[in-house]
Amino acid sequence: MIKVENLNKVFKTKTKEVIGLKEVSLDIKKGEIFGIVGYSGAGKSTLIRCLNILERPTSGHIYIDDVDLLSLSSKELREARQSIGMIFQGFYLVASKTVFDNVAFALKAAGVKSVHKRKERVTELLDLVGLADKANEYPAQLSGGQRQRVSIARALANNPKVLLCDEATSALDPTTTKSILALLKRINREFGITIVLITHEMEVVKEICHRCAVMQDGEIVEEGQTYDMFAEPENELTKKFIQTVLDFELPQKLLSECEGVILRLQFRGGIASDAVVSDMLQAFSVRGNILHGKVEYIGDAPLGIFIFELVGEEEEVNKAIAYLEERVFVEVIQDARH
Ligand SMILES: Nc1ncnc2c1ncn2[C@@H]1O[C@H](COP(=O)(O)OP(=O)(O)OP(=O)(O)O)[C@@H](O)[C@H]1O
């Protein structure tokens, strides 16, 4: 659906050249929610702005449904953009227009001349985003979450195939963020709209993205199914992002009192975690203490995480670790034996 091939963007300033994107390639499937995550300056905004040619890449290709966006004339590009909606962190609503008129404006701009048709569509959209009762209010009278709902209604006005979300929830509190993400999920499910979102919050990716990519210094450093990225991240930066969601802070006092090996065990959904641990405890002469444990849901799929201390003779402990490593993901986080 969206194919990005070897995209490069170099910003030329008076004194230097800044690399915005470096050989970025992506293949985003129809109906997918795809997340792009990275720290500030990683190139996320540049990439998402390139997807509707708000920013012209220096080289490379962008295809949406096999149409090469960079080969289009200005008129053709304007038409192609009708099928790409976009929402932003700052909402960009027109302060002097009512909620109704902010949404109707997108229809007018797209050439919908009939007042009746515009009214019908705006009413439908405001219903969809839960703002039917706010049609005559002005942006200043709305909360941040409500403003983002208006901008979602506006972005969907002309039935786009793709919705680009540029840090759409970064200015919102956690509860409002959840409600906006739930709305995006619903839009994706009910209308099959492909959603590409950029964010610096892994929590957002965990909540709604089917697949995601991690960016650093203009490059994609890792890409995959969101669940796999959480369960078995490979890149160091991905691991850091994952930790922001899955990390357990154990009290320093507890760590210093532990005499054995502290392991972090990760169980993919479907594996009976307690059975693996109790079988291990029966098979080897070791003692085990669970220090922490919980099940995180990545989308709807469970990922179990336990912090576990193993105490015993060195050889038995090593055998027990090897036994666990054959069955689940194991990370040694402290070894007080050495
Ligand atoms: N118009 C510009 N002129 C010069 N350099 C730019 C321009 N826009 C972006 N850059 C540079 O390109 C790199 C990528 O920036 P970009 O805004 O895409 O990152 P980002 O991941 O979106 O960060 P943030 O989350 O802070 O917006 C940065 O080094 C940035 O300074």
The tokens describing 7, both together, are 């995209």
Q: In 3D, which of 14, 75, 77 has the Cα closest to residue 50?
A: 77
Distance 38 CA to ligand 1 centre (A): 12
User: Complex ipTM above 0.85?
Assistant: yes
- Integer Cα distance of 315 and 318 in angstroms: 5
Amino acid identity of 96?
S
* pLDDT confidence of residue 270: 55
- Integer Cα distance of 150 and 190 in angstroms: 18
For residue 287, pLDDT beyond 60: yes
Distances (CA, A) of 221 to 42, 198, 209, 290: 11, 15, 17, 34
Name the residue of 12, 16, 37, 40 to mutate for ligand 1: max ligand atoms within 8 A of Cβ: 40
Measured in degrees and rounded to the nearest 5, phi and psi for residue 210 equal -75, -45
- Integer Cα distance of 130 and 201 in angstroms: 25
Confidence of residue 271 (pLDDT cuts 50, 70, 90): low
For residue 275, pLDDT beyond 70: yes
Q: Is the CB of 13 under 6 A from ligand 1?
A: yes
User: What is the residue with the minimal CA distance to atom 12 of ligand 1?
Assistant: 20
Amino acid identity of 248?
F
pLDDT 10s digits, 18-37: 999 999 999 999 999 999 99
- Percent of the chain at pLDDT exceeding 90: 75
Distance 154 CA to ligand 1 centre (A): 26
Q: Is the CB of 266 under 6 A from ligand 1?
A: no
For residue 72, pLDDT beyond 70: yes
Q: Which atom of ligand 1 is nearest to the CA of 200?
A: 25
Name the residue of 11, 47, 54, 219 to mutate for ligand 1: max ligand atoms within 8 A of Cβ: 11
The tokens describing 263, both together, are 């392991």
> Which domains, ranges and CATH numbers included, belong to the chain?
2-244 (3.40.50.300), 252-335 (3.30.70.260)
User: What is the residue with the minimal CA distance to atom 25 of ligand 1?
Assistant: 40
User: What is the residue with the minimal CA distance to atom 13 of ligand 1?
Assistant: 20
The tokens describing 189, both together, are 């499910």
Length of the chain: 338
pLDDT 10s digits, 204-258: 999 999 999 999 999 999 999 999 999 889 999 999 999 888 877 778 888 888 8
Q: Which atom of ligand 1 is nearest to the CA of 215?
A: 21
**28 near 192, Cβ under 8 Å?**
no
User: What is the separation of C-alpha 37 from the centre of its chain, rounded to a whole number of angstroms?
Assistant: 6
Q: Is the CB of 57 under 6 A from ligand 1?
A: no
Distance 11 CA to ligand 1 centre (A): 9
Distances (CA, A) of 200 to 5, 166, 204, 241, 273: 23, 10, 8, 9, 31
User: What is the residue with the minimal CA distance to atom 16 of ligand 1?
Assistant: 43
Q: In 3D, which of 147, 165, 52 has the Cα closest to residue 93?
A: 147
- Integer Cα distance of 246 and 238 in angstroms: 12
pLDDT 10s digits, 78-109: 989 989 999 999 999 999 999 999 999 999 99
For residue 273, pLDDT beyond 70: no
Q: Is the CB of 238 under 6 A from ligand 1?
A: no
SS3 for 251? coil
The tokens describing 185, both together, are 């999920």
The tokens describing 110, both together, are 């797209």
- Comparing 334 with 202, the larger pLDDT belongs to 202
